[in-house]
Amino acid sequence: MTRSLNLDPVSLSVRTEPTVKGASTTGTSVRIDVLTIFPGILEGFLNESIVRIAREKGLLEVVLHDFRQFAEDKHRTVDDKPFGGGPGMVLKPEPIFACLEALIAKDQQPPRMLLMSPCGSTLTQKRMREFAKDERLVILCGRYEGYDERIKLGWPFEEVSIGDYVLSGGEVPAMVVIDSVARLLPGVLGHDLSALQDSFEGPLLDHPHYTRPADFRGMQVPAVLLSGDHSKVAAWRKQQALERTQVRRPDLLRGDARRGPDAGQV
Ligand code: ADE
């Protein structure tokens, strides 16, 4: 059964029982299923800004699955102590397998599956663009010290990280992926060129931006931007982007291998 939250006009489904009966089969561009024991973390996020617009336009569907509901014991246990000892708790395989089996068995085409973890490969704009082309994504959000390794052996997960820092769970990283994918879907942004002009869509960081007033507390907008000369504006922006990239992210210009598998293709 589905618990419908009061998030009109676009209602958000949180599946809280061990079934996916009634899963939507609407013709949206991308459907993202998120497995989490804290669906509430994502609820407000899904109902605001670009993600909300993508959902309202029918271009994005997000379904939250509380995999705790698939635990079979009285206390709905999702974690346990690690074999071999050590601190923290580890996510058990059974509830996650049961949730995935209920979700995926009926799929004709297997979805792309992402497992959020600081041990994964670091995400880039290029990976996000690939995800935005998928019709179906499944995102598994971990908690505690980690996942039982058999979850990764039993399912074709791509283990991904949003950066070299540790968060308390995969929900925030899942929101990062959803936001990034939503704004890449054709028709979501008012101006489709906006996404293409972002930092990381080309080899350079984005140039500085200004809006009115031309003089704010004595700080002037660069004269070239007021000149009306489009080619001079374009040249100025390119130069600024280059200087900014040289100072802040010289690795992008070098195609530095430390940036991982997408090096040279930001
Ligand atoms: N879970 C905890 N930290 C994370 C990170 N940096 N990226 C993805 N998932 C995480």
Confidence of residue 13 (pLDDT cuts 50, 70, 90): low
Percent of the chain exceeding pLDDT 70 equals 82
> Is the model's pLDDT at 197 over the cut of 80?
no
Shared-domain flag, residues 88 and 44: yes
Cα–ligand 1 centroid distance for 176 (angstroms): 11
Query: Is 118 known to be catalytic?
Result: yes
Q: Is the CB of 175 under 6 A from ligand 1?
A: no
Shared-domain flag, residues 139 and 212: no
Q: Is the CB of 161 under 6 A from ligand 1?
A: yes
Shared-domain flag, residues 130 and 248: no
> Is the model's pLDDT at 23 over the cut of 80?
no
Residue 74 lies in a domain: yes
When computed from its CA atoms, the radius of gyration of the chain, rounded to whole angstroms, is 22
User: Angle at which helices 49-56 and 171-184 pack, to 10 degrees?
Assistant: 60
Shared-domain flag, residues 180 and 208: no
Shared-domain flag, residues 247 and 180: no
> Is the model's pLDDT at 19 over the cut of 60?
no
Question: Comparing 10-14, 77-81, 113-117, 127-131, which segment has the lowest mean pLDDT?
Answer: 10-14
Neighbouring-strand partners of residue 63: 13, 33
Write down the pLDDT at residue 191. Answer: 66
Give me the catalytic one of 95, 111, 118, 173: 118
Write down the pLDDT at residue 22. Answer: 34
Cα–ligand 1 centroid distance for 222 (angstroms): 40
Model confidence pLDDT, tens digit, residues 226-249: 999 999 999 999 999 999 999 999
Q: Is the CB of 163 under 6 A from ligand 1?
A: yes
Shared-domain flag, residues 33 and 115: yes
Shared-domain flag, residues 172 and 123: yes
Mean pLDDT to the nearest integer, 108-135: 95
Shared-domain flag, residues 12 and 133: yes
pTM: predicted TM-score of the whole model, two decimal places: 0.87
Question: Comparing 55-64, 108-117, 180-189, 190-199, which segment has the lowest mean pLDDT?
Answer: 190-199
Q: Are 31 and 136 in contact (CB under 8 A)?
A: yes
Shared-domain flag, residues 127 and 70: yes
> Is the model's pLDDT at 254 over the cut of 70?
yes
Write down the pLDDT at residue 240. Answer: 98
Number of domains in the chain: 2
- What range does the domain containing 226 cover? 199-259
Write down the pLDDT at residue 201. Answer: 73
Ligand 1 atom closest to Cα of residue 162: 7
Ligand 1 atom closest to Cα of residue 168: 2
Most informative mutation of 115, 172, 178 for ligand 1 (most atoms within 8 A of CB): 172
Ligand 1 atom closest to Cα of residue 163: 6
Q: Is the CB of 167 under 6 A from ligand 1?
A: yes
Residue that finishes a domain, picked among 129, 159, 184: 184
Shared-domain flag, residues 149 and 222: no
Average pLDDT value for the chain: 87
Residue identifier of the C-alpha nearest atom 6 of ligand 1: 118
Shared-domain flag, residues 214 and 247: yes
CATH assignment at residue 244: 1.10.1270.20
- What's the chain look like in SS3? CEEECCCCCCCCEEECCCCCCCCCCCCCCEEEEEEECCCHHHHHHHCCHHHHHHHHCCCEEEEEEEHHHHCCCCCCCCEECCCCCCCCCEECHHHHHHHHHHHHCCCCCCCEEEEEEEEEEECCHHHHHHHHHCCEEEEEECCCCEECHHHHHHCCEEEEECCCCCCCCCHHHHHHHHHHHHHHCCCCCCCCHHHHHCCCCCCCCCCCCCCCCCEECCEECCHHHHCCCHHHHHHHHHHHHHHHHHHHCHHHHHCCHHHCCCCCCC
Question: Comparing 59-68, 163-172, 190-199, which segment has the lowest mean pLDDT?
Answer: 190-199
Residue 193 lies in a domain: no
Residue 208 lies in a domain: yes
Residue 152 lies in a domain: yes
Residue 148 lies in a domain: yes
Residue that finishes a domain, picked among 132, 158, 184: 184
Write down the pLDDT at residue 100. Answer: 96
Cα–ligand 1 centroid distance for 166 (angstroms): 6
